[in-house]
Structure 1
Amino acid sequence: MEGRANEAALRALAEALGVRRADVQLIRSIGRVKFVEVDAAENMIMARLAELAQHSTLTARLDSR
């Protein structure tokens, strides 16, 4: 079961970052904590993360305080 869950998480991360699934590798897993490597330009990943954070419900909740 863990292998399928990890694969699903890696697919979701690749989709969210706009990269191919093959560009996302699980490096280490400690329980629910996953360490991944993404084969893409750092500035592209950082820009995508910033974009995702702007649309995050957590960000919206924090901004409303």
Structure 2
Amino acid sequence: MRYLVTFLWAFMLTQMVNFILNSLAGGGPLNFWIGVVLAVVITLTILVLDGLNKMSADPHAGDEL
């Protein structure tokens, strides 16, 4: 659920940034998919960083021997 919320926030914020930068550049046609791709990349990055954080927080991560 938290990754869904992360995606929704990333989607909304990247679409806003995309719109503002497009407007500052002269207001050509807005490319919707740039914001979607950036939102997916941000969500996957946060997912990977969360997984790495959980692995480093495990005190018995390297004690298999």
**Normalising by the residue count of structure 1, what TM-score does the alignment of the two structures yield?**
0.35
Query: Greater strand share, 1 or 2?
Result: 1
**Which structure: larger Rg?**
2
Query: Which gives a bigger RCO, structure 1 or 2 (Cα 8 Å, sep 6+)?
Result: 2
**Normalising by the residue count of structure 2, what TM-score does the alignment of the two structures yield?**
0.35
Query: Greater helix share, 1 or 2?
Result: 2
